[in-house]
Structure 1
Amino acid sequence: MNYDMIRSQLGQSVPFARLAGVEIDSIAGGRASAHLPFRPEGLNHIGTQHAAALFALGETASGAAMAGAFAPILLEIRPVAAEASIRYFGLAKGAVTAEARVEAEPDALIEAVRTEGLVRFPIVVSLRGEDGIEIGEMMVDWHVSKKRT
């Protein structure tokens, strides 16, 4: 499965991300980027991006990076975000971009699923404002297993 196909499918198959306004920009082998436009529906009581919208952005980017890492066997696995944490460093006063990366080597993760049936690993996500300044960081632990039949 190629990365453009994965990006298109993820954009359609996660209704909440669409509702939040998250758009996946790119997917590569264990990396992904997504953005959250600045729009009235996503704001909080002080007029900046809502914390929940930023969480949705980071989790979506992490899922796209996970999908990119497992592209060769994506149709054979069952991925689940098992744990997530987020730290906010500043206010999101405009559009926000998320850059996610799998820390481990994708080939090693694929091999673990093939031999052990499952693997758990972290994905680090950097959230940046329009000016490029990091406004938050997220860590998402993914649990990937072989699809159940």
Structure 2
Amino acid sequence: MRAMSADHSFVAEAMKQAVPWVGTSGVEFVEVTGDRVVAGLPDDPATHNHVAGPHAAMIFGLGETASGAVVMAAFAPHMAKATPLVARSEITYRKLALGPLRAEAVLGRPAGEVVAELEAGSRPEFPVTVTVANAEGVTTAEMVVVWTLRPHRA
């Protein structure tokens, strides 16, 4: 269920402040909700690989950044209690990526369920699935980024 009434306008700027790479990479935030983010990566020859498309590091960075924005949107009210960290990730490159890209990241578990585990004293893990597509909407890569919320110790 989407949190339609929540204001997530802070996420783009907060991501740039928290993760300086976001500001220098060219990643743009197109849509942000409490459980879904769409981020874009403009075509930039300075970040190309040997076949004139975005380097794999840029594609991975776009997907991971979109997943982090979902985490920030979903769990911002709980950041005083825990730090979000990537536990592991996997990416599958499906098609040659050329031109501008868009990544859609979707929270894989309800935020309330994850917060309940955190409040019960555990270190929850949760997946964020990411689909990267080219300007024509063709999927070029798919990712799963597994995040954890590391509780702050008093």
Given the two structures, how large is their TM-score scaled by the length of structure 2?
0.89
Q: 1:63 aligns with which of 61, 64, 68?
A: 68
Q: 1:138 aligns with which of 131, 135, 143?
A: 143
Distance 1:48 1:85 in 2: 20
Q: CA deviation at 1:27?
A: 2.0
Which residue number corresponds to residue 3 of structure 2? none
Q: 1:86 aligns with which of 81, 85, 91?
A: 91
Whether 1:102 and 2:99 are equivalent positions in the alignment is: no
**Structure 2 unpaired stretches of 5+:** 1-5
Distance 2:151 2:32 in 1: 22
Give the secondary structure class of the aligned counterpart of 2:58: helix
Q: CA deviation at 1:111?
A: 1.2
Distance 2:24 2:61 in 1: 10
User: 1:77 corresponds to which letter in structure 2?
Assistant: A
Distance 1:113 1:30 in 2: 18
CA RMSD, Structure 1 to Structure 2 (Å): 1.6
Distance 1:94 1:143 in 2: 32
Cα pair 1:49 1:91 within 8 Å, conserved: no
Which residue number corresponds to residue 82 of structure 2? 77
Whether 1:3 and 2:11 are equivalent positions in the alignment is: no
Cα pair 1:29 1:68 within 8 Å, conserved: yes
Which residue number corresponds to residue 36 of structure 2? 31
User: 1:88 corresponds to which letter in structure 2?
Assistant: Y
Given the two structures, how large is their TM-score scaled by the length of structure 1?
0.92
Whether 1:121 and 2:120 are equivalent positions in the alignment is: no
Residues 31-57 of structure 1, C-alpha deviation per residue, up to 9 Å, x if partnerless? 111111001111001111111100000
Which residue number corresponds to residue 48 of structure 1? 53
User: 2:91 corresponds to which letter in structure 1?
Assistant: I
Q: CA deviation at 1:61?
A: 0.4
User: 1:5 corresponds to which letter in structure 2?
Assistant: F
The range that moved more, 49-58 or 139-148, is: 139-148
Q: CA deviation at 1:134?
A: 0.7
User: 1:131 corresponds to which letter in structure 2?
Assistant: E
User: How many residue pairs align between the two structures?
Assistant: 149
Give the secondary structure class of the aligned counterpart of 2:120: helix
Residues 10-36 of structure 1, C-alpha deviation per residue, up to 9 Å, x if partnerless? 123211222322122232112111111
Q: CA deviation at 1:4?
A: 0.9
Task: State the percentage of identical aligned residues.
Answer: 33
